[in-house]
Amino acid sequence: MEHNKITGDGVVTGHGTINGRTVFVFSQDFTAYGGSLSKTHAQKICKIMDKAMLVGAPVIGLNDSGGARIQEGVDSLAGYADIFQRNVMASGVVPQLSLIMGPCAGGAVYSPALTDFTFMVRDTSYLFVTGPDVVKAVTNEEVTQEELGGASAHTVKSGVAHNAFENDVEALQRIRDVFDYLPLSNREEAPVRYTDDSPTRRDPSLDHIVPIDSTKAYDMKDVIQRVGAFSFLLLFICLADENSFFELAPAHAKNILIGFTRFDGQTVGVVANQPLVSSGVLDINASVKAARFVRFCDAFNIPLLTLVDVPGFLPGVAQEHGGIIRHGAKLLYAYCEATVPKVTVITRKAYGGAYDVMSSKHLRGDMNYAWPQAEIAVMGAKGAVEIIFRNSQDRTAAEHEYIAKFANPLPAAQRGFVDDVIQPFETRSRIIEDLRLLREKKLENPWKKHGNVPL
């Protein structure tokens, strides 16, 4: 049996530091029995995860496994379940990051799915429950590994992975980058990084990003962080600290943006509608994408900034039959449940139920602002006129009357639903002031075993 011994049993585990901060890591070795999971393999991973929870430090998993070790039978299946249990127990206690660096098949896929963020490497990493051969045998579908579970499949279509990188080196570096935004545990604060970007910086260009015509699109990324070229210099024109935006899931549900950034060195989670894609409408995928991110930020005490330009929820048979009511409720639930500091800025449209869902004052928003061109209403002017003034002879005049009366931030401000109508150029300094004010915020939800999220 000597020749069957596997050094390290196909996984290397340990702990170290990234920029001086403790982290626990396990790395599967595909050269040893295809990185297959055995009882001992699982025990090593479980030991690392137990230690991480004990001391309060993140876990990074480098996944490269062909699945369960068939020779061990049910022991390998028990090993998977032991890992899954720890993934769930660690959820919301310490951050968990997964990097898929090769094949990850069968039961192996569920551990990354239970972690907070999953990243892949293009052309070399794959995630699927059953491989192409099994799919062919059972359904008679011809499909390649890449089509079934490659990086493009999971970063664009399924949303299982939060990003994909060109090679292993870039992937490892980007894991270090995202780690730098996160606290070590739910009892720690995220690290504050020095910045020479003044907290009182005012950017007049923000006054011109949002078009006057509410039907015209613009890139919300320009509001968060825009890079422009001028005389061979890069100018960072944005709300956030210079060069600090780390976007997550950029290729999936592009009509909403999520990611980490910094304001005056402090980590902030950003959720923003993207008018450049489908007018920033909320659909099933966008709701699920944002809801999971909001819950992560709340679990680890990361303040939330919500930038709103949303015409509503996407109508249509496909969305209704796909469960937009239930999936949209996930985002509503996430914001309602969150107790972290919440700052909201309405940059333009905030219509209907989507206005409520996007961290409105009614969902315990701490500071809610609107830019002067904001339209906060039940619906857009054209749709409202069709209903309210259907018998009017002069639809244009009726539309202008509706806009003057409802489609502006003043009615909401008069009722206290908006704390202030501010100029775009002063938004950065107001956000930083609010984050400082809310740093010692104490808010607790009623005791419960757990809520019943509309899964």
**Active site (catalytic) residues:** 106-107, 353-354
Tell me the backbone φ, ψ of residue 174, rounded to 5 degrees. Answer: -70, -30
Tokens of 399: 């539309």
**By the 8 A CB rule, do 29 and 36 touch?**
no
C-alpha triplet 25, 46, 248: angle, nearest 5°: 45
Which residue in 114, 102, 241, 72 sits closest to 171, CA to CA?
102
Q: Which residues of 343-357 are buried (b: 16+ CB within 10 A; e: fewer)?
A: bbbbbbbbbbebbeb
Task: Give the span between the Cα atoms of 335 and 333, in whole angstroms.
Answer: 6
Instruction: Indicate the length of the chain as a whole number.
Output: 455
SS (H, E, C) the chain: CHHHCCHHHHEEEEEEEECCEEEEEEEECCCCHHHCECHHHHHHHHHHHHHHHHHCCCEEEEEEECCECHHHCHHHHHHHHHHHHHHHHHCCCCCEEEEEEEEEEHHHHHHHHHCCEEEEECCCCEEECCCHHHHHHHHCCCCCHHHHHCHHHHHHHHCCCCEEECCHHHHHHHHHHHHCCCCCCCCCCCCCCCCCCCCCCCCHHHHHCCCCCCCCCCCCHHHHCEEEEECCEEEEECCCCCCCCEEECCCCCCCEEEEEEEECCEEEEEEEECCCCHHHCECHHHHHHHHHHHHHHHHCCCCEEEEEEECCECCCHHHHHHCHHHHHHHHHHHHHHCCCCEEEEEEEEEEHHHHHHCCCHHHCCCEEEECCCCEEECCCHHHHHHHHCCCCCCHHHHHHHHHHHCCCCHHHHHCCCCCEECCHHHHHHHHHHHHHHHHHCCCCCCCCCCCCCCC
Q: Which amino acid is located at 310 in the chain?
A: V
